[in-house]
Amino acid sequence: MQSFDVVIIGFGPTGKLLARQLSDFGHSVAIVERWPAAYPLPRAIGYDHEIRRMFHALGLGPAVDAISRPMHHYVQYNADWKVLIEFDESRPSISGGRNGYLFNQPELERILERDLEGRPGVTPFLSHEALGVTDAPAGVEVRVAPFDTTARRPDLARTETLAARYVVGCDGANSLVRKAIGSEQIDHGFDAQWLVVDVLPHDLSNLPVPDAAQWCNPERPTTIVPSGVSNRRWEFMIKPGECADDFACAEMAWRLLSPWMKPGEGTLVRHAVYRFRSLLACGWRRGRLLIAGDAAHLMPPFMGQGMCSGLRDAWNLGWKLDRVLTGASPDRLLDDYEAERGPHVDSIIKLSMEMGKVVCVPDAEAAKARDDAFFSRQLPPPPVFPALAGGLVADVPAAGPLLPHDELEREGRSDRLDTLTGRSFSLLIETDALDELSARSRALIEALDIAVVPIGLRGYRDLDGRLGEFLAAHRIRAVIARPDFYAFGGVRSPGEIERLLRDLSERLAAGTSTRCHDEPAQVRT
């Protein structure tokens, strides 16, 4: 029986990102995947500035940038191509660069796979199916067997068992691990079928389409967006009463594409009917079993946050597993994973549903009422992207939001903030406040191995001003940043830093015990 620190079931982007982190932290990882390679056709097509920041922190930024297309304006039109709402995705984000990026998932999968090849501690079990998991006090056992891709079944005569301290199910909507945990699923009620069509046009410059748009036409609600540098995607709503099987053919795909392009003008890469759901698992952990990505949540695609949410799961879970595996924190720290990610992703599911309600209106009278509301501006302002509202965040100012990122310069040299902090806790502090730190605060900083980043005179110059603006907006002089870029909390005077550091130290040493929340808590400000 081979033994590992962690067995990851599922080798999509979420599983790959988690494996890379655990390898960097020095842990042994087995990856179990039914197929011999990643799915070769497009699925996810968008990621946001926070995810781009993860790629750059891992040293993958230039490679991912090369296959990505920065977003410009994302527009929702009515049936007459009048603008209902326009999102300026070209505006600078708090992480630097654009707010959103479009990509072709198979190209990203190749980058992530090449990055893992030969990394210490990573053992892939490709073309293997996980048959079952058994959690026991001493560890988890995972039964696997070679998977025959032609016959589409495992070879049960060659079953073997992998032992692990923890198992993470990144194994999709029909997750084996979620079933083993016994998680219930909250269904928020969104349920629609769409035909998704990916095309490689021969001449992008002559394609008569908007850059990125939702055509909110009750005759056939349609999404039109780039998918990477060269591809384009159309998504067509299958209206109530229509048979999904009638749409699952190339002829129907080209018929629906006909207003924009003909078969001789491009190559049909993929066409598939998808069922869009809004599901949240309640129970992301039981003992040594955990879930992430689509195993934990499903959402409509209208905000492009499905893959992003899975990668946030992995980014959050990676550093927590490292602390537990090394004994730096008790395994109760893993309960904070769902306490933090559950409400956050729940909010995003609901935001995606609200976006979908604008688009998925197949009734002409209802569509007219929607249009009139937009044109008269009788609508509430767009909601704010969620922060962390539970788990390992302090009850102090500026606790929970994603922190800004910046280029910092000192003595003629500039570095990314992530380069200076690594993947550890860090203290971003004004230089004059740093001078006033107590001896006890300095001892806690050393004991917690916190990276200190002084900002201001005699420290780092904030080249774009985002960090300085964050401190000023919250009226704080220092903030503790978590390894996943979120704020543990801020202080308004140097004298308060010792208490905040002690709070962090005690909570990391003791862990916490929290449960799934059906509704996100209010964010502290």
Q: pLDDT for 392-405, tens place per residue?
A: 999 999 999 999 99
Residues 36 and 143 in one domain: yes
**pLDDT one-digit tens code per residue, 410-424:** 999 999 998 999 899
Of all residues in the chain, what percent carry a pLDDT higher than 70? 96
Name the 3-class secondary structure at 412.
coil
> Can you give the pLDDT at residue 487?
97
Which of 288, 315, 338 finishes a domain? 338
Is pLDDT of 210 > 90? Answer: no
Q: Give the Cα separation of 471 and 490 in Å (integer).
A: 8
* CATH number, residue 332: 3.50.50.60
Average pLDDT over residues 100-129: 95
**pLDDT one-digit tens code per residue, 462-485:** 999 999 999 999 999 999 999 999
Is pLDDT of 511 > 70? Answer: yes
> Can you give the pLDDT at residue 287?
95
Is pLDDT of 524 > 60? Answer: no
**pLDDT one-digit tens code per residue, 145-166:** 999 988 999 999 999 999 999 9
Of all residues in the chain, what percent carry a pLDDT higher than 90? 87
Instruction: Single out the residue of 441, 442, 471, 445 nearest to residue 456, CA to CA.
Output: 471
Residues 334 and 411 in one domain: no
Is 267 within the bounds of a domain?
no
> Can you give the pLDDT at residue 513?
45
**pLDDT one-digit tens code per residue, 422-445:** 899 999 999 999 999 999 999 999
Of 222-236, 328-342, 356-370, 379-393, the one with minimum mean pLDDT is: 379-393
Is pLDDT of 141 > 60? Answer: yes
Q: Which domain holds residue 325?
A: 2-44+51-65+104-184+280-338
Mean pLDDT of the chain: 93
**pLDDT one-digit tens code per residue, 290-314:** 999 999 999 999 999 999 999 999 9
Exposed, middle or buried, 493 (CB in 10 Å: 0-12/13-18/19+)?
Answer: exposed
Distance of CA 105 to CAs 1, 112, 174, 228, 272, Å? 35, 11, 21, 8, 15
Residues 38 and 150 in one domain: yes
**pLDDT confidence band for 520 (50 / 70 / 90):** very low
Is pLDDT of 519 > 80? Answer: no
Residues 412 and 502 in one domain: yes
Is 243 within the bounds of a domain?
no
> Can you give the pLDDT at residue 138?
85
Which of 338, 360, 381 finishes a domain? 338
Residues 329 and 416 in one domain: no
> Can you give the pLDDT at residue 525?
24
> Can you give the pLDDT at residue 52?
97
Alpha helices in 197-258, H assignment, sequence order: 250-257
> Can you give the pLDDT at residue 40?
80
Residues 34 and 132 in one domain: yes
Average pLDDT over residues 115-127: 95
H/E stretch holding 106:
helix 105-116
Q: Which residue has the higher pLDDT, 523 or 248?
A: 248
Q: What is the DSSP string of 443-512?
A: HHHHHTTPEEEEESTTSBEESS-HHHHHHHHTT-SEEEEPTTSBEEEEESSGGGHHHHHHHHHHHHHH--
Is 430 within the bounds of a domain?
yes
Is 314 within the bounds of a domain?
yes
Using alpha carbons only, what angle is made at residue 73 by residues 69 and 77, rounded to the nearest 5 degrees? 125
> Can you give the pLDDT at residue 288?
97
Neighbours of 308 (CB within 10 A): 21
> Can you give the pLDDT at residue 87?
87
Is 108 within the bounds of a domain?
yes
* CATH number, residue 428: 3.40.30.120
> Can you give the pLDDT at residue 518?
39
Of 8-12, 456-460, 484-488, the one with minimum mean pLDDT is: 456-460
HEC secondary structure over 285-309: EECCEEECHHHCEECCCCCCCHHHH
**pLDDT confidence band for 512 (50 / 70 / 90):** low
Q: Give the Cα separation of 230 and 226 in Å (integer).
A: 8
> Can you give the pLDDT at residue 522?
32
Is 114 within the bounds of a domain?
yes
**pLDDT confidence band for 377 (50 / 70 / 90):** confident
HEC secondary structure over 29-85: EEEEECCCCCCCCCCCCEEEHHHHHHHHHCCCHHHHHHCEEECCEEEEEECCCCEEE
Q: Which residue has the higher pLDDT, 265 or 517?
A: 265
Is pLDDT of 223 > 80? Answer: yes
Q: Which residue has the higher pLDDT, 518 or 353?
A: 353
Is 312 within the bounds of a domain?
yes
Residues 38 and 132 in one domain: yes
Residues 164 and 299 in one domain: yes
> Can you give the pLDDT at residue 157?
95
**pLDDT confidence band for 382 (50 / 70 / 90):** low
Please tell me the total count of domains within the chain: 2
Is 198 within the bounds of a domain?
no
Instruction: Single out the residue of 246, 198, 15 nearest to residue 102, CA to CA.
Output: 198
Residues 411 and 288 in one domain: no
Residues 173 and 315 in one domain: yes
Exposed, middle or buried, 486 (CB in 10 Å: 0-12/13-18/19+)?
Answer: buried
Residues 315 and 419 in one domain: no
Residues 167 and 293 in one domain: yes
Which of 310, 338, 366 finishes a domain? 338
**pLDDT one-digit tens code per residue, 25-55:** 999 999 999 999 888 878 899 999 999 999 9
Of 23-37, 55-69, 201-215, the one with minimum mean pLDDT is: 201-215
**pLDDT confidence band for 78 (50 / 70 / 90):** very high
**pLDDT confidence band for 517 (50 / 70 / 90):** very low
